[in-house]
Amino acid sequence: MPTSPELCLDFETRQIHAGEMIDPGFGARVGPIYQTAGYLFSSFDDAEARFSGATAASVYSRSENPTNAAAGRRLADLEGGVAGIVVGSGQAAIAATLFALASSGDHILATENLYEGTKQLFLGSLTRQGLRVEFVPESASDADWAERVTPRTRALFTETIPNPKNQVVDLERLAAIAHRASVPLVVDSTVATPYLCRPIEWGADIVIHSTSKWLAGHGAVIGGAVIDGGRFDWAAHSDRFPQLTTSPRAGVSSFVDRFGTAAFLAYLRTVTVLEYGPTVPPTSTFLLLHGIETLSLRMERHVTNAQQVAEWLERHPLVAGVDYPGLPSNAFHERAKKYLPKGSGSVVSFDLAAGRPAARLFIDALRLISNMTHIGDVRTLALHTGSTIHGRLTEPERLAAGITPGLIRLSIGLESARDIIADLEQALGAVHRGTDAPGHA
């Protein structure tokens, strides 16, 4: 079914049909799993054409697979981009994107509030491989941002809704800052999903997802995705991105000349992903595609449940604070109304006033809610981030990042809100009994 923009299909329709592939041999309505390493070339000329990029037909499943290609097309459609690719994980998507944009010795600007796993990637492996990542408070003035730009700056990186504190970023402003610096804005929009926010509409150039989360939705697969917005003028900045604007070898045109607005994604697919090989199995992508088909329905329930849980927690006497931008009391509420009009996501973090001992009591008392590291599942999940995701940090580093000793991150699932709240209530009851016990420190 074609899904060209002129048809003006709604999101709910496109999440089912965009990029779909009808099996040509048997007419199977559900897209097949192409479980193959390679593809038969029909002739000498066909093989040469595929390797040269003259045809879009698959060469080898390390860089592309028909099942994976269908998911890339669907996600690009839902985000409003020109092309997309799926890879082995969200971390692989981030690393591959930055490797495609930057070389050893280059510089990346990033907002200070990011998922800790991403910060560890930036400060660890990417730094060891020669990239310099500089973290800047999002609230820094335009002049402060401009002062950080160097001739070797290659991107500005941020997240739509940073996990776990939910500090909604001002995408429109960051896009303007990035473009004045002649670099693309790269946005990890995992927590928002394209149903709640489409960063390209606010000026982003590249969008990244951990597809393991809400896009798949069931907690059964790992994957990542990169979507090219097709709007950044690479040719105008050939000094920063010669890999896209100059000929890679004699007789071959540049990626911009060959692929136009999709030049970045073409380079990512045929160079970076092909060479590094962060391949996602088509069996996992098959499950991802089925998850995307119900994304809007699930997100509606996720955010409705999250809003109810956040409001309930805010009223609880043992809770010192709740980080959820859907609450009118939240510092990012007005910004959330602009960028997230359909809901503020389903990560709800809250601080237990009695600190780490209370967090231990709370986590161990949960019955329905799962204590595990993951978000975006159909199930509600809980995690004490200070002893897990942020466990490598010193106490001053955790506090500087807003990770207090009693901070609990919830990923609100699709169970009934009543049952989720009932489990929270009984676990907080255990906290009350434990912290009130004689001799409790």
The string of pLDDT tens digits covering residues 255-269 is: 999 999 999 999 999
* Shared-domain flag, residues 227 and 317: no
Q: Are 287 and 218 in contact (CB under 8 A)?
A: yes
User: How many Å apart are CA 186 and CA 100, to the nearest integer?
Assistant: 12
Is the pLDDT reported for residue 19 higher than 50? yes
pLDDT in tens, 183-232: 999 999 999 999 999 999 999 999 999 999 999 999 999 999 999 999 99
- pLDDT tier at 25 (50, 70, 90 boundaries)? confident
Residue 75 host element (H or E) = helix 66-79
pLDDT of residue 321: 97
Token pair in block for residue 189 = 């929009």
Is the pLDDT reported for residue 134 higher than 90? yes
What is the span of the domain harbouring residue 19?
8-292
Last residue of a domain, one of 241, 258, 292: 292
Instruction: Read off the CATH number of the domain in which 251 is found.
Output: 3.40.640.10
Q: For the residues 372-382, what does the mean pLDDT come to?
A: 97
Q: Are 100 and 264 in contact (CB under 8 A)?
A: yes
Instruction: Read off the CATH number of the domain in which 412 is found.
Output: 3.90.1150.10
278-306 burial by CB neighbour count: b if 16+ within 10 A, else e? Answer: bbbbbebbbbbbebbbebbebbebbbebb
* Shared-domain flag, residues 287 and 211: yes
* Shared-domain flag, residues 276 and 361: no
Last residue of a domain, one of 239, 259, 292: 292
What domain count does the chain have?
2
* Shared-domain flag, residues 328 and 400: yes
pLDDT of residue 50: 84
- Has residue 308 been placed in a domain? yes
pLDDT of residue 382: 98
pLDDT of residue 51: 84
Q: For the residues 129-152, what does the mean pLDDT come to?
A: 96
pLDDT of residue 268: 96
Instruction: Decide the pairing of beta strands 407-411 and 107-111.
Output: unpaired
pLDDT of residue 178: 98
Q: Are 187 and 158 in contact (CB under 8 A)?
A: yes
> 135 pairs with which residues across the strands?
110
* Shared-domain flag, residues 287 and 419: no
Mean pLDDT (the chain, rounded): 94
- Has residue 2 been placed in a domain? no
- Has residue 223 been placed in a domain? yes
Sorted by sequence, the CB contacts under 8 Å of residue 44 that are 6+ apart come out as none
- pLDDT tier at 6 (50, 70, 90 boundaries)? very low
User: How many Å apart are CA 274 and CA 63, to the nearest integer?
Assistant: 5
Q: For the residues 306-330, what does the mean pLDDT come to?
A: 98
* Shared-domain flag, residues 87 and 158: yes
pLDDT in tens, 51-97: 877 777 788 899 889 999 999 999 999 999 999 999 999 999 999 99
Q: For the residues 421-438, what does the mean pLDDT come to?
A: 89
* Shared-domain flag, residues 99 and 228: yes
- pLDDT tier at 437 (50, 70, 90 boundaries)? low
* Shared-domain flag, residues 263 and 301: no
Q: Where are the beta strands (DSSP E) in 232-346?
A: 319-323
- Has residue 314 been placed in a domain? yes
Token pair in block for residue 420 = 């989720």
Q: For the residues 314-322, what does the mean pLDDT come to?
A: 97
- Has residue 250 been placed in a domain? yes
pLDDT of residue 441: 45
Is the pLDDT reported for residue 27 higher than 90? no
Please report, as a single letter, which amino acid is at residue 305: N
Q: For the residues 92-119, what does the mean pLDDT come to?
A: 97
* Percent of the chain residues topping a pLDDT of 70: 97
- Has residue 175 been placed in a domain? yes
pLDDT in tens, 143-169: 999 999 999 999 999 999 999 999 999
Distance of CA 365 to the CA centre of its chain: 31
- Least confident window among 246-250, 324-328, 370-374, 425-429: 246-250
Q: For the residues 374-393, what does the mean pLDDT come to?
A: 96
Last residue of a domain, one of 266, 292, 318: 292
- Has residue 335 been placed in a domain? yes
- pLDDT tier at 26 (50, 70, 90 boundaries)? confident
* Shared-domain flag, residues 251 and 359: no
pLDDT in tens, 278-289: 999 999 999 999
* Shared-domain flag, residues 283 and 229: yes
* Shared-domain flag, residues 175 and 288: yes
* Shared-domain flag, residues 252 and 308: no
Instruction: Decide the pairing of beta strands 347-352 and 407-411.
Output: antiparallel
pLDDT of residue 5: 45
- Has residue 240 been placed in a domain? yes
Q: Are 95 and 277 in contact (CB under 8 A)?
A: no
pLDDT of residue 7: 58
